[in-house]
Amino acid sequence: MAEFYIQRRWQLLVHKLLTIVQIVWVQRVLIVTAVLLFSLALPFVLSRTLLLLVIGLILGLTAVIIFLYRPQLGLLLLVAASLVLPSPDLPGGLNLTVLFLLLLIGLWFMEMFVAQRNIWVVRSRPVKPLLVLLLVVLISLLFGQLPWFRHAQPAPLETQIGGMLIFICAVGAFLLTAQQIRELYWLQWMTWIYIAMSAFFVAGWVVPGVGPISSRLFHIGAISNSLFWTWLVALAFGQAVFNNKLNPFWRLVLLGITAMTLFVGFVLNNEWKSGYLPPLAAVAVILALRSWRLGLIMLLIAPIGAYFLTSQAIATDDYSYGTRVDAWIIVFEIIKVNPILGLGPANYYWYTPLFPIRGWAVSFNSHNQYVDIIAQTGLVGMLCVIWFAIEQGLLGWRLKDRVPDGFARAYVYCVLGGLVGTLVAGTLADWFFPFVYNIGYYGFRGAIPAWIFLGGLVSLEQMYASNSVETAGSSNPVLHTSTT
């Protein structure tokens, strides 16, 4: 009797389970069928424009969920998108890459405010001057509303806000990387993807058949920024020289990419000084860090090399050099009305017609990053930039002997070389904080990866502080082949 009772209970249990499975299966079939019918009906119910909006909304919400769950994927995609993402004409020169960066910054703040309920930034010495710089830019924007010159109006307010937004985006890209990258393999992926994609574009200059493809694939706003060439050389050359965990074949490939890039910049595109002078500075720094003896030799011959390069650069573009010097003199005259905090973002451009250049009362910009910074944010803003450069350099110097061999240590040297190359690029044009009336948002997309890689140094510092470098860096996703 007992056995019959147990058997009966098992039969009832199995029957219930089968019933539940059938119900769940039917529900799934109904849901899938409903989704398919809804998808098929959309084109007949909605207009084409509205349908595209619905699809875009669905894809956008999906992307937001993914980036909230894995913000590192957003940064990885941003590095690649900055090089190739199409850029339709948007108001104020905005492009999809900048909007994507703003989306990631917004999601970062939303995650802190809603999920963590705590607004915080990573603790690191290079972060402080950047935060102070943003405060100075905001104060300069307020001071920029004052009537500094009687016969001229400041830039439109939306343009001033756009100029301030460039500073926010640059610092935001830095902080996103510093805050959200906590495993070394994300830095590895970003570095190798950037090198591979950028090298493909450079190969289009020298390899038959590649040029027509690369010229259509890459966006001119990215590859026409000096920092594109500077950081390609800094990352490739630094990894080739210092990454002793790479197979010798890959190190030779990276050296080849460096040589090819310098050849294109110095030989094939020699008239554009921003294409080879900053990368050469990055190479010089990396070589000096590789050997103090070599650094001493370069220090002794540096004046000769600098004299040759600057003389050659000026001789091939004497008119441009002369007009730039004239522009700097005039801009410094304008700055005298408020040298401490400057005239506010974008404003000095509207005051230049009051000071004719070579007899022409026209609007112009300085074509110099540091003159632009002083004109917009004053000497206080310039001191913040100098403060940041010093702190970033000191951080790299402290980390170079404290992180593990291989990619991590090589990355430190890459950033030190890239930092110096970036500072040199600033003497040639407004490359890392683009002036809204010159390089602007169109070319800012080429500076975004530079700020991301600079932020990677702080990220590396946080990994080291939490003793996670050894475990996080145990594998190299692309080029790791141990020779030890």
Tens-digit pLDDT profile for the chain (484 aa)?
A: 545 444 555 455 445 444 544 544 455 555 445 545 555 554 555 555 565 565 656 666 666 677 777 888 989 999 999 999 877 767 777 888 998 999 899 888 888 877 777 777 888 999 999 999 999 999 999 999 998 888 888 999 999 999 999 999 999 999 999 999 999 999 999 999 999 999 999 999 999 989 889 888 898 888 999 999 999 999 999 999 999 999 999 999 999 999 999 999 989 988 888 999 999 999 999 999 987 677 677 666 666 666 565 666 555 555 566 778 888 898 999 999 999 999 999 999 999 998 888 877 788 888 899 999 999 999 999 999 999 999 999 999 999 889 999 999 999 999 999 999 999 999 999 999 999 999 999 899 999 999 999 999 999 999 887 544 444 444 444 443 333 3
- Note whether residue 135 is domain-resident: yes
Q: Give pLDDT tens digits for 278-306.
A: 999 999 999 999 876 776 776 666 666 66
Angle, nearest 10°, between helix axes 184-203 and 448-465? 150
- Note whether residue 33 is domain-resident: no
What is residue 357's predicted lDDT score, i.e. its pLDDT? 84
- Note whether residue 119 is domain-resident: yes
What is residue 17's predicted lDDT score, i.e. its pLDDT? 45
What is residue 86's predicted lDDT score, i.e. its pLDDT? 78
16 in helix, strand or coil? helix
- What is the distance between the alpha carbons of residues 459 and 158, in angstroms, rounded to a whole number? 34
Q: How many domains does the chain have?
A: 1
85 in helix, strand or coil? coil
What is residue 298's predicted lDDT score, i.e. its pLDDT? 67
Domain limits at 178?
93-472
Which two structure tokens, joined as six digits, stand for 37? 């019918």
- Note whether residue 243 is domain-resident: yes
Which two structure tokens, joined as six digits, stand for 269? 């595109």
Mark residue 475 as left, alpha or beta (left: phi above 0; alpha: psi -120 to 50; beta: remaining): beta
Using a cut of 0.85, tell me whether the model's pTM lies above it: no
- Note whether residue 316 is domain-resident: yes
What is residue 343's predicted lDDT score, i.e. its pLDDT? 95
What is residue 418's predicted lDDT score, i.e. its pLDDT? 97
93-96: Cβ within 8 A, 24+ apart: 93/162, 93/436, 93/440, 93/441, 93/442, 94/441, 95/221, 95/441, 95/442, 95/445
- Note whether residue 55 is domain-resident: no
246 phi and psi angles, rounded to 5 deg: -80, 145
Measuring CA to CA, how many Å separate 285 from each of 83, 191, 300, 392, 427? 26, 19, 14, 15, 17
Best CA proximity match to 158, nearest among 180, 141, 133, 177: 141
- What is the distance between the alpha carbons of residues 137 and 342, in angstroms, rounded to a whole number? 9
Q: Which residue has the tokens 């010093």?
A: 390
333-337: Cβ within 8 A, 24+ apart: 334/375, 335/374, 335/375, 335/378, 337/148, 337/149
DSSP classification of residue 246? B
- H or E element at residue 315: helix 292-316
- What is the distance between the alpha carbons of residues 282 and 233, in angstroms, rounded to a whole number? 7
Burial 156-178 (b: 16+ CB within 10 A, else e): eeebbbbbbbbbbbbbbbbbbbb
Best CA proximity match to 240, nearest among 82, 25, 414: 414
What are the DSSP calls for 337-382, one per residue?
TSTTT-S-TTTHHHHGGGS-BTTB------S-HHHHHHHHHHHHHH
- What is the distance between the alpha carbons of residues 294 and 419, in angstroms, rounded to a whole number? 20
Contact (Cβ atoms closer than 8 angstroms) between residue 373 and residue 137 = no
What is residue 117's predicted lDDT score, i.e. its pLDDT? 73
Q: Give pLDDT tens digits for 453-478.
A: 999 999 999 988 754 444 444 444 44
- Note whether residue 74 is domain-resident: no
What one-letter code names the amino acid at 395?
L
What is residue 47's predicted lDDT score, i.e. its pLDDT? 55
- Note whether residue 34 is domain-resident: no
Contact (Cβ atoms closer than 8 angstroms) between residue 236 and residue 178 = no
